[in-house]
Chains A and B, each alone.
Chain A
Amino acid sequence: NAGVTQTPKFQVLKTGQSMTLQCAQDMNHNSMYWYRQDPGMGLRLIYYSASEGTTDKGEVPNGYNVSRLNKREFSLRLESAAPSQTSVYFCASELLGYTFGSGTRLTVV
């Protein structure tokens, strides 16, 4: 009964590199979300998926793409990482209230 699992927990990328952040939930929730958290900025929505097969942009989608692979998995891809994407990334799923994963701490140098 893991809840929401995110991988990796830490990552350092060079500018221009690409990577995919993985998220999986085992609670059979329809809705899944990706947020980024920066100091003093709170949690800002990148993309979300209200159900399997659908995705929508949030507040800060530029530079990111997402895939809702199936009901369990929702991945976030950075095609060409930039220093401005240095952040902590949280995936969440929802039934009543969000259940967050433990986060991915990404540094882009």
Chain B
Amino acid sequence: GQQVMQIPQYQHVQEGEDFTTYCNSSTTLSNIQWYKQRPGGHPVFLIQLVKSGEVKKQKRLTFQFGEAKKNSSLHITATQTTDVGTYFCAGPRQAGTALIFGKGTTLSVSS
């Protein structure tokens, strides 16, 4: 069946280090979305990428959508303690209108 995989599952960094999480889909996606969930909170929408090879930036966060539209990455430059949380990628399910989510990458940051 359709799968969306994320690596790594966990990442610990020192404050100021960079961080990257990777997302791979078993199928070609029409778009990919990224969400952030703070500990004890709910997922919050960050961004949607639609075009092959698209790169978008939000301050220290850089999002990329692969040329084949099967993979994506989120890179955080100079992490801060406010970046702590779990980052999920998600793409449209083959059947229906809902999203299928990766299992997420949990980022911890020590100061």
Contact = CB atoms under 8 A, between A and B. Distances in A.
Interface of A: 31, 33, 35, 40-45, 48, 50, 56, 58-59, 90, 96-103
Interface stretch (B14-22, B40-48, B67-75, B77-85): B40-48
| Binding site secondary structure of chain A | strand
Contacts of A59: 100
B96 A101 contact: no
23 contacts: A31-B98, A33-B99, A40-B9, A42-B88, A42-B101, A42-B102, A43-B43, A43-B90, A45-B93, A48-B98, A56-B96, A58-B96, A58-B98, A97-B45, A97-B48, A98-B33, A98-B35, A98-B45, A98-B99, A100-B42, A100-B43, A101-B42, A102-B41
A42 B101 CA distance: 7
A43 B103 CA distance: 7
Interface in B48-79: 48
Contacts of A43: 43, 88, 90, 101
Nearest to B45: A97
A34 B73 CA distance: 26
B93 to A, nearest CB: 7
A50 B93 CA distance: 13
Q: Which of B35, B43, B98, B102 has the most CB of A within 10 A?
A: B98
Given A40-B103, A42-B102, A42-B104, A98 B97 contact: no
A90 B37 CA distance: 12
B44 A100 contact: yes
Contacts of B101: 35, 42-44
Scoring B9, B35, B42, B97 by chain A CB atoms within 10 A of each residue's CB, the highest score goes to B42
